[in-house]
Amino acid sequence: MGTATIRDVARQAKVSLKTVSRVINRESSVREETRERVLRAIEQLDYRPDLSARSLRSAKAYAIGLVYDNPNPYYIIAVQQGALAACREMGFGLQIHPCDSRGPKLAEELRDLVHRSRLAGLVLAPPMSERMALLRELAAYNIPLVRVISAAEDPHDGFPCVFVDDRDAAYAITAYLIQLGHLRIGFLWGGKQHRSSPERYKGYEKALQDYGVPMSDELVLEGDYSFDDGFRGARRLLGLAEPPTAIFGSNDEIAAGVLAAARAAGLHVPYDLSVAGFEDSPFSRHSWPSLTTSRQRTEQIAEHAARLLIAQIHGGDVENEGFSPELVVRGSTAPPRPKA
């Protein structure tokens, strides 16, 4: 039993190897009757083409790589699911490759990966997707790639991408807080090495300007997309002489840290303090109160990126595409308590 090969199919269908190959690859110029006979034989023998042999022989490869360095499991799982969906549909395999974005020889590492595993190309998640030097090196190695990046618009920098308008989304969240009546809104930065981080800050800044809300340096703190940074940052903000009435964390984990700090300080969210996150991870639904946040559609974005990559490999014309996050209002935000 074991595993039928194309040879067995050919024998069973009484045709040549090549004809079977043609049927499998949907090439034209196979008579309908022959095609059916071959398909029947494939069915009977439960034949599946061997991906190794296939990619060895044809220049083409039948798997792509997914490269990331991101400590957020919710984000990664969503990206994997999306990429896998696209791969399954197109008959591709997916090779995951978590890595260190600061590794000195990342380009070589990725080239070896592509070469050894015969990958057709790479999907790069942030922050790898934002390091131009890396992108140029990979391009020099002729490795097809598609990036997921944070940008308000198509960057037109020659590298295909799926871009997410973090700035606009952060603007929406900030504007929403302002409309609730908040005038002192704290902002906790995400990681410096992620482009999404300054983008989100810019959205925050612009909303304050547009609505004429005074900016204040003491309300803005750096961090690194982590729970602990959210906790520490919130503690500092809440210790100010004039503390904020709302805090906008650059992602849900930071916001979770803010929630914890607020509780530790005996504050009641949302009445004493409004908290907003960013990402719509399951965490934002499961925290108490649940988090007002920005829905990213990570899974669709990743699926689209993988699809784009495969299309590019097939030689199709590739159009960059943008996704707009969407404001999700939950229980962690409310109008500020009127001053006693």
- Residues at the interface with DNA (CB under 7 A): 3, 5-7, 14-22, 24-25, 28-31, 33-35, 47-50, 53-54, 56-58, 60
- 210 near 244, Cβ under 8 Å? no
Rounded to a whole number of angstroms, the minimum distance from the CB of residue 28 to DNA is 6
Task: Give the CA-trace dihedral at 67, 73, 74, 77, to 10 degrees.
Answer: 50
**Binding segment for a second copy among 115-123, 150-158, 184-192, 203-211 (CB under 8 A)?**
115-123
- 177 near 276, Cβ under 8 Å? yes
Rounded to a whole number of angstroms, the minimum distance from the CB of residue 95 to DNA is 18
Strands (E), 14-134: 63-68, 93-98, 122-124
| 17 contact, one of DNA, a second copy, none, CB 5-8 Å limit per kind | DNA
| 256: phi then psi, degrees, rounded to nearest 5 | -65, -40
Task: Give the CA-trace dihedral at 262, 327, 301, 123, to 10 degrees.
Answer: -40
Rounded to a whole number of angstroms, the minimum distance from the CB of residue 301 to a second copy is 17
CA distances from 292 to 196, 202, 304, 329 (A): 19, 19, 26, 4
Closer Cβ to DNA, 14 or 314, answer by number: 14
Closer Cβ to a second copy, 96 or 215, answer by number: 96
53 is a site residue for a second copy (CB under 8 A): yes
Residue 70 structure tokens: 């991101």
201 is a site residue for a second copy (CB under 8 A): no
The residues of the shown chain that bind a second copy, judged by CB under 8 A, are 2-3, 48-53, 55-56, 73-74, 76-77, 80-81, 84, 93-96, 98, 112, 115-118, 142, 227, 253, 256-257, 259-260, 263-264, 282-283, 285-288
